[in-house]
Structure 1
Amino acid sequence: MDNAMFCYQCEQTMGGKGCTKMGVCGKTPEVANLQDLLIYQLKGIACYAKPLIDKGELIDKTIVEFVENSLFTTLTNVNFDVEVHIQLLKDSQKIKEALRSKAPKGDYPEEAKYNLSATKQQMLEDAVKAGLMYDKDLNPDIRSLRHTILYGLKGISAYGHQARFINFYSDQVDQFYFRALEAITNDDVGVEELIRWTLRTGEIALEVMRVLDNANTTRYSHPTPHNVNVNIKKGPFIIVSGHDLRDLEMLLEQTDGKGINIYTHGEMLPSHGYEKLKKYKHLVGNYGSAWQNQQKEFDNIPGCILMTTNCLMKPRESYKDRIFSTGVVGWDGVIHIGRDENGYKDFSPVIEKALELGGFKEDEEEKEIMVGFAHKATLSHADKIVSAVKNGDIRHFFVIGGCDGARPGRNYYTKFAEQVPKDCIILTLACGKYRFNKLEFGEVCGLPRLLDVGQCNDVYSAVKIATSLADAFDTDVNSLPLSIVLSWYEQKAVADLLALLSVGVKNMYLGPSLPAFLSPNVLQYLVDTFGLKPISTPEEDLKSCLQQIV
């Protein structure tokens, strides 16, 4: 049992087929199997919750939050702590029993009837039947669609978690967790219906991104273009990684006036576009690059790191004493900062450690990049953009972004961006931007040629920009001079892709490799229905994009 696992939810899965001995992400078989069992428990909870929802009952928000956070915990590079998973499993059993007592009598699936065993060893033994490939006779297309929906749900849960932390949520999204989990457990749901559920998952992904956009822009105002220093400054410091703006805000409040510099890292970079965060003068810049370089970039660093969401990698001993986790993030032996009943987090241990370490000894010469081109900022130039396109001054738009990763071949995205003609505009988002966001792209028609739209959830912004431009041209998104070139790594990218498919976006390019959980038939359906294409070479794909007829 200790040496057996199967996981293929991320792009870097071993051999492009599945991790079976140890996760490429650093996940052990023990954690992998406990996560499988946790998902099994969530399915059981959903089987009891769905009939209650069908009767018009609202599931208690504490249960919704538990399901959401549990899904998020199992997303790639989030939590590797065995004891956290044991506690989640114990809590899941209590929730299941409570719902079981309220649900109508009936013949429920094994996931619902199962009762959690008492010890970790017994849980691990039980986890065998929760494995992704346990049912050897399951139709591979049904397995593929079920897992696609599940991974979309994991992405949705990450965005829902962020929004809920600042008290924004959607009843539609909350109910969908249970309805979708029940659907992928129900043997009466066949291929055609699962396809509909898959596209519905995309619709819900777009809805939760809308909620998160509303949450962030209501609390922090709409992003506006700002220059961000990407070099270091003298003095004690804390690097904040992940996505959760509320964590960053609380840390900025608690460090104000203490002589500590705050740097963003990874997907926290777009926070510099928000006026209500930028007002803190000790938010001095962005440190490093994408998540997969953290072990090298954090090595022996004379300051602290706070991981607020994914993506966490195994900390090296050279900085394990100065990296902290919060939210659902965790690693065995890493200090975790919890929250009180009001959502407040006391970051004193991080602050004290940063002061103790002393920080950087001298300034580097400043180098700046620009962020803040979410939908409101970009669409404020809509008239200029439409006029430039009609006049032939702007030829084409490219959305180049998504998750970055360490697999060879991701330099495709750098080369593609470099080769985009100078009369074209690039919109980028998520950590895939680090492949090229420090390069000089110049301007076209008075606009920067590289527009940083934001985090991975800001696919919502990209969709809003595209649909607004389509309206301005009295056409549809697929008739715009627009091409979408996506890189994917984990399950938020799955949710993003499904969101784009749900609004009918066609002819997207996806790489650096295709998901291992897509069966040949499911992949063919996506190719036939949506024109989904695997990337080839930058030269060939760029030529194909520019031949698109407007």
Structure 2
Amino acid sequence: MENSMFCYQCEQTFGGKGCTKSGVCGKTPEIANLQDLLIYQLKGISCYAKPLIEQGKIIDKDIVKFVENSLFTTLTNVNFDAEAHVKLLVESQRIKEILRDEAPKAEYPAAATYDLSGEKEIMLKDSVKAGIMYDEELDADIRSLRSTILYGLKGISAYGHQARFMGYNSDQVDQFYFLGLEATTNDNLSLQDMIRFTMRTGEMSVEVMKILDEGNTSKYKNPSAHKVNVNIKKGPFIIVSGHDLRDLEMLLKQTEGKGINIYTHGEMLPAHGYPELKKYKHLVGNFGSAWQNQQKEFDGIPGCILMTTNCLMRPRETYKDRIFTTSVVGWDGVKHIDTNENGTKDFSEIIDKALKLGGFKENEETKEILVGFGHNETLSHAGEIVNAVKEGKISHFFLIGGCDGARPGRNYYTDFAKMLPKDCVILTLACGKYRFNKLDFGTVAGLPRLLDIGQCNDAYSAVRIATALADAFDTDVNSLPLTIVLSWYEQKAVADLLALLSLGIKGIYLGPSLPAFLSPNVLQYLVDTFGIKPISTPEEDLKSSLKQAN
């Protein structure tokens, strides 16, 4: 039994059904099963937390932080280190017992009453009952909605973790971790109840993105349009990947004046738009392309890499000694940089290593792309945009964004962007933009045709922009000449999609394939209620979106 698993939380899942032998992401059955058991423990903790919340008690923020970090640890491509999972599991039992003592005496589900053994071998045996498919009698639609809520919560936890690290959090979201997780164990909830919880997960996703936006823009000021060099410079360097701006800022401070170049990578690219980060002269550019090309791009480079959040792939031997992880990220045998008691980190080890490696030998010719079109920057042009639409200079807006991945079908997004008529504006966010962000789309009505709104959490910015435009035209978002084309890969994209649905946004194109955890009935419900459309061909989808607009 021990060498099998079942996981279908991401888009690359085997055969579009589920990974059963090992994860396409690189996780072993051992890691997958420890993650199942950790989620089971979090559900148990939540069963005791819920009645306490109903009595008006505030759950200790250290417990919230533990649940948030544990959820994030199990997100796709974050942590592959068995020992890190065992540590979290042991801690989960301690927390469960604290809440069990406080909670009212009643009948609780098996996830709550279960007691974890301290031994990894027994944990792995016990993990069978934590598996997604363990209860064979469970209604397929209930299972589907439970999974959707859980994956939405994992996405929310990634954003919540990032915000909390900067000192920002939402009590409402903190409470919902427990209420949402409890709902996934509660056999008394009807299909309608579960649909309501799914939409509530979307509302919490909007809320957490708003808090994160507040944190990022208060600390680093509102992003503004900035050019970023995407080629390399001579000298020692560190590449910073992931999403965590505070990690980047700490590293920038600690490397100042040391002759080290700092490059962003993947989802860290939008950092160049923030004035308080851009001011560091040694933040010299962005390295490489989307996350799924990292093994090729990091192969034997003469510098270091710091992984701050998700999107870690199995490190090749050629750079395993120069890649470092921090926060919830982990890979067995890769150096981890811990957070100190006071919330800071000491990056001296990675700094020394980068200096020793010596870096790139010569400069490449500068090639620049434009970033920084968050809601503040884009809406500072609202007058021009509205006029351009009224004068017929801009005919349509396309939001093409989401996570990238390695599947062949993903060139759809490149082809789609290239095919757009010259009077269309492209808004983009998250790493899906690497499919086309180095192409020259020119300008329309004096504005760049490609506006990079930021990271995946900046779906919040996109919503702010859409709502402001709808107000300017005295209409609603669904009546704007706007088409949303989403590429999904992991659970943050699930949170983003639920966020858009909870705001009543309809007619979203979704690809490259549909989530394996959506049952046929749940999918049908989303199609009927929100007009979700699986992508077909770029030609067909472009034709139908422009036809609808007219």
Pick the TM interval, shorter chain.
over 0.9
Aligned to 1:208: 208
Aligned to 1:43: 43
What letter is aligned with 2:173? V
Question: What are the equivalent positions in structure 2 for 1:412-451 lying under 5 Å apart?
Answer: 412-451=412-451
Offset, 1:2? 3.0
Offset, 1:496? 0.2
Q: 1: distance between equivalents of 2:211 and 2:444?
A: 33
Q: 2: distance between equivalents of 1:509 and 1:472?
A: 25
Aligned 8 A contact 2:231 2:366 in 1: yes
Q: 1: distance between equivalents of 2:498 and 2:470?
A: 20
Aligned to 1:251: 251
Post-superposition CA distance 1:17-67 (Å, at most 9, x none): 000001000000000000000000000000000000000000000000000
Aligned to 1:334: 334
Post-superposition CA distance 1:248-273 (Å, at most 9, x none): 00000000000000000000000000
Post-superposition CA distance 1:210-263 (Å, at most 9, x none): 000000000000000000000000000000000000000000000000000000
Please say if 1:519 is aligned against 2:519.
yes
Aligned to 2:101: 101
Q: 2: distance between equivalents of 1:232 and 1:198?
A: 44
What runs of 5+ residues in structure 2 fail to find an aligned partner?
none
Secondary structure of the 1:83 match is helix
Post-superposition CA distance 1:251-298 (Å, at most 9, x none): 000000000000000000000000000010000000000000000000
What letter is aligned with 1:404? D
Secondary structure of the 2:464 match is helix
* TM-score with structure 2 setting the length: 1.00
Offset, 1:118? 2.4
What letter is aligned with 1:153? L
Offset, 1:117? 1.1
What letter is aligned with 2:127? A
Question: What are the equivalent positions in structure 2 for 1:27-66 lying under 5 Å apart?
Answer: 27-66=27-66
What runs of 5+ residues in structure 1 fail to find an aligned partner?
none
Offset, 1:3? 1.4
Q: 2: distance between equivalents of 1:113 and 1:190?
A: 23
What letter is aligned with 1:410? R
Please say if 1:386 is aligned against 2:362.
no
Aligned to 1:20: 20
Aligned to 1:72: 72
Give RMSD over aligned pairs.
Answer: 0.5
Aligned to 1:463: 463
Aligned to 2:264: 264
Secondary structure of the 2:22 match is coil
Aligned to 2:197: 197
Question: What are the equivalent positions in structure 2 for 1:387-406 lying under 5 Å apart?
Answer: 387-406=387-406
What letter is aligned with 2:306? L
Moved more, 182-191 or 257-266: 182-191
Q: 2: distance between equivalents of 1:65 and 1:538?
A: 42
Aligned to 2:495: 495
The runs of at least 4 aligned residues of structure 1 exceeding 2 Å deviation read none
Secondary structure of the 2:289 match is coil
Aligned to 1:150: 150
Aligned to 1:358: 358
Post-superposition CA distance 1:130-158 (Å, at most 9, x none): 00000011000000000000000000000
Q: 1: distance between equivalents of 2:454 and 2:2?
A: 40
Aligned to 2:232: 232
Aligned to 2:289: 289
Q: 2: distance between equivalents of 1:483 and 1:137?
A: 40
Offset, 1:484? 0.1
* TM-score with structure 1 setting the length: 1.00
Aligned 8 A contact 2:486 2:508 in 1: yes
Aligned to 2:324: 324
Secondary structure of the 1:272 match is helix
Q: 2: distance between equivalents of 1:61 and 1:205?
A: 19
What letter is aligned with 1:34? L
Aligned to 1:278: 278
Offset, 1:167? 0.3
Post-superposition CA distance 1:87-127 (Å, at most 9, x none): 00000000000000000000000000000012111000000
Please say if 1:476 is aligned against 2:479.
no
Equivalent pairs: percent with the same residue? Answer: 77
Aligned to 2:184: 184
Post-superposition CA distance 1:428-474 (Å, at most 9, x none): 00000000000000000000000000000000000000011001111
Q: 2: distance between equivalents of 1:178 and 1:511?
A: 30
Q: 2: distance between equivalents of 1:426 and 1:336?
A: 38
Offset, 1:416? 0.2
Aligned to 2:140: 140
Secondary structure of the 2:207 match is helix
Secondary structure of the 1:189 match is coil
Post-superposition CA distance 1:499-536 (Å, at most 9, x none): 00000000000000000000000000000000000000
Q: 1: distance between equivalents of 2:363 and 2:310?
A: 29
Offset, 1:75? 0.1
Aligned 8 A contact 2:264 2:286 in 1: yes
What letter is aligned with 1:131? G
Post-superposition CA distance 1:412-436 (Å, at most 9, x none): 0000000011001000000000000
Please say if 1:222 is aligned against 2:225.
no
Aligned 8 A contact 2:2 2:125 in 1: no
What letter is aligned with 2:457? N
Q: 2: distance between equivalents of 1:487 and 1:97?
A: 41
Q: Figure out how many residues of one structure are paired with residues of the other and give that number.
A: 550
Q: 2: distance between equivalents of 1:454 and 1:145?
A: 29
Offset, 1:549? 3.3
Aligned to 1:7: 7
Secondary structure of the 1:410 match is helix
What letter is aligned with 1:223? P
Aligned 8 A contact 2:238 2:306 in 1: yes
Q: 1: distance between equivalents of 2:128 and 2:405?
A: 30
Question: What are the equivalent positions in structure 2 for 1:89-128 lying under 5 Å apart?
Answer: 89-128=89-128
